[in-house]
Homo-oligomer: A and B are copies of this chain.
Amino acid sequence: MDSNAPPCIILNAPQLAHNIGAVARVMANFGLADLRLVNPRDGWPQERAWASASGAEWPLNAARVYESVTEAIADLHLVYATTARPRELQLPVIGPRQAAADLAAEVAQGRAAGLLFGGERAGLETADIALCQAVVTLPIDPRFRSLNLAQAVAINAYEWRMTVESGAPANFREGPPPADAAALQGLYDHFERELDEAGFFHPPEKKPSMVQNLRSALGRARFSDQEVRTFRGVVTALSRGRGRALEKLARRKAEGDA
Contacts and interface: CB of A to CB of B under 8 A. Distances in A.
Interface string A1-44: 00000000000000000000010011011110000000000000
A148 interface: yes
Contact of A161 (B26, B139, B146): B139
B138 A25 contact: no
A162 interface: yes
A56 interface: yes
Interface string A82-122: 00000000000001110000000000000000000000000
A141 to B, nearest CB: 4
B30 A148 contact: no
Nearest to A140: B29
Contacts of A155: 154-155, 158
A165 interface: yes
A150 B200 CA distance: 50
A55 interface: yes
A70 interface: no
A48 to B, nearest CB: 14
Copies of this chain assembled into the complex = 2
A151 interface: yes
Nearest to A120: B54
Given A151-B29, A151-B150, A56 B165 contact: no
Given A155-B155, A158-B155, A31 B141 contact: yes
Nearest to A25: B148
A147 interface: yes
Given A31-B143, A56-B144, 13 more contacts: A25-B144, A25-B146, A25-B151, A29-B140, A29-B147, A30-B140, A30-B141, A54-B148, A138-B158, A139-B161, A139-B162, A141-B161, A155-B158
18 contacts: A25-B144, A25-B146, A25-B148, A26-B147, A26-B148, A29-B145, A29-B146, A29-B147, A29-B151, A30-B141, A55-B144, A96-B158, A138-B158, A139-B158, A139-B162, A151-B151, A154-B155, A158-B158
